[in-house]
Amino acid sequence: MLDTSERHVYTPDHEAFRGTVRKLFDKELYPHIDTFESEGIVSKAFWRACGDNGLLCPTVPEEYGGLGLDFGYNAVVDEELAYAGSSAGITLQSDIVADYIVAYGSEEQKRKYLPQMISGELITAIAMTEPGAGSDLQGVRTTAKRDGNHYVINGSKTYITNGQNAGLIIVVAKTDPDKGAKGTSLILVEQEAEGFSRGRNLDKIGQHSADTSELFFNDVRVPITNCLGEENKGFIYLMSQLPQERLSIAIGAQAGAQRAFDEAVKFTKDRKAFGKTVFDFQNTRFTLASLKTELQVGWAHIDWGLKRLLEGKLTAAEASAAKLWHTEMQGRVVDEALQLHGGAGYMNEYPIARLWRDARVQRIYGGTSEIMREVIARTI
């Protein structure tokens, strides 16, 4: 269990909410994690349970069925989910997609989609990455061409989180390819749209319970009113929302690293070697001491970044630095923690194996570590 007793970024209300999250996860997540992993997808029943208990999209205003809370409540879910060792896509829905619709959606779009997202009835995805365009969103080739009162969408997307479960997808497409990034728009596509199809649930190194998919758009016709916000403003919208997304990833990385450390402490204090516990060896204790130091620094920085976000002050460079440092730190911690498990660490029956596998992609999605360094360097 995460120890939050000495943290000051959260209020008593946040911590009461954390109790609700933990109770729900004890009942609906922990007993089913292995099933979700083996099936390659999180059940829709889990999504609905999260919705029933107020875990989905807590920042959405009350007029659309939300709780109207601050992002600190999202962060609580992010921490507890990562500490549980789950890659369920609920954080994508709450931390990213919901904010796009609240910030840029029409009144009709908000009233149609947000209540269903909050209840867990509607699962969402955002389709940015393509076979030839990852961190460089300016390279998007999917097009949405006007045809009367409709857009006709053609293209393909890959590595899309919630791709199999999603009933609504925000598609990043070029509405004016000649303008490059300035010709990008965000288009809402429902799963029933003719010409839309899903590819396979991709076979990944880790995060097996996250349904990560290919999506295909073959002359998909949607009304012009499905444009999210203004036409050709999509790239600006994407850049505006990235700081929160990257802090969200950093929060998950920190909590995941903490779980790996805690697993290593538990294992080494229990495992015997040469007549004493593995923990009693100086090398083990010194390794754990170094990891604990990194985690202490990390939690202080996460709380600083979260406070900055809640105050509306977190910059793109600061968020990029947070994602860079915390995901790289997570990589170091999970690797050392697995090493301390010895041969057991390579066995899937131990949680550390999943924590190690799942951590690797953190340095890739949401902007690679190399792109984070580029963003930071531009401010120097």
Q: Give the chain's domains with CATH numbers.
A: 12-122 (1.10.540.10), 125-231 (2.40.110.10), 235-377 (1.20.140.10)
Mean pLDDT of 269-278: 92
Question: CB under 8 Å to 7, separation ≥6 — which residues?
Answer: 299, 303
Q: Report pLDDT for 180.
A: 86
The DSSP output letter for 201 is: E
Cα–Cα dist 41/22, whole Å: 21
Q: End-to-end distance of the chain based on CA atoms, in angstroms?
A: 39
Neighbouring residues of 8: CB distance < 8 A, sequence distance ≥ 6: 303
pLDDT one-digit tens code per residue, 92-129: 999 999 999 999 999 999 999 999 999 999 999 999 99
Residue 277 forms beta bridges with which residues? 272
pTM here?
0.95
* pLDDT for res 321: 98
Q: Is the pLDDT of residue 138 over 80?
A: no
Q: Look up residue 79 and give its two tokens.
A: 């921490």
Encode pLDDT of 49-87 as tens digits.
999 999 999 999 999 999 999 999 999 999 999 999 999
DSSP lists the bridge partners of residue 171 as 127, 187
Q: What is the pLDDT of residue 181?
A: 86
Residues 173/162, Cβ–Cβ less than 8 Å: no
Amino acid (1-letter code) at residue 375: V
pLDDT higher than threshold 70 for residue 9? yes
Long-range pairs of 240-244 with CB within 8 A, sequence gap ≥ 24 = 240/103, 241/96, 241/99, 241/100, 241/103, 242/316, 242/319, 242/366, 242/367, 243/309, 243/314, 243/315, 243/316, 243/318, 243/319, 244/71, 244/95, 244/96, 244/99, 244/309, 244/314, 244/319
Q: Is 161 helix (H, G, I), strand (E, B) or coil?
A: strand
Exposed / middle / buried, residue 341 (Cβ in 10 Å: 0-12, 13-18, 19+): buried
State residue 305's pLDDT score.
98
What's 367's DSSP letter?
Answer: S
pLDDT recorded at residue 135: 66
Letter string b/e over residues 174-198, b meaning 16 or more CB atoms within 10 A of that residue's CB: bbbeeeebebbbbbbbbbebeebeb
Q: What are phi and psi of 174, to 5 degrees?
A: -90, 115
Average pLDDT over residues 323-335: 98
Alpha-carbon dihedral sign for residues 52, 53, 55, 57: positive
pLDDT of residue 205: 96
Query: Which pLDDT tens digit goes with each residue over 172-211?
Result: 999 999 898 899 999 999 999 999 999 999 999 999 999 9
Which pLDDT band holds residue 273 (cuts at 50, 70, 90)? confident
Cα separation, 206 vs 214, in Å, equals 17
Q: Which pLDDT value is given to residue 159?
A: 95
Mean pLDDT, range 279-286, rounded to an integer: 97
- Catalytic residue numbers read 245
